[in-house]
Amino acid sequence: MATYSTNEFRSGLKIMLDGEPSAIAESEFVKPGKGQAFSRVRIRKLISNKLVRKNI
């Protein structure tokens, strides 16, 4: 199974999240003025069709 870095996240990328197939709906890189940079990702679970937001 391949592993991806957060800078490789693109819309439409298919991933396994918590054992369920998912697709990245939207990815945004956030660099706040104070603190560490992170990626804000919206993920659509393909089986349940739920939209999940994660900060990675």
Tell me the CA distances in angstroms from 56 to 13, 20, 41, 47, 48, one per residue in order: 16, 18, 7, 22, 22
Q: Which domains does the chain have, with CATH numbers?
A: 6-49 (2.30.30.30)
Q: Which helix (H) or strand (E) holds 56?
A: none
Q: What is the pLDDT of residue 5?
A: 85
The pLDDT tens digits along the chain (56 residues) read 678 888 888 999 999 988 999 999 999 999 999 999 999 999 999 999 999 999 98
Using alpha carbons only, give the angle 2, 50, 45 rounded to the nearest 5 degrees: 15
Q: For residue 41, how many other CB atoms are within 10 A of its CB? A: 22
What pLDDT, on the 0 to 100 scale, is given for residue 1?
Answer: 67
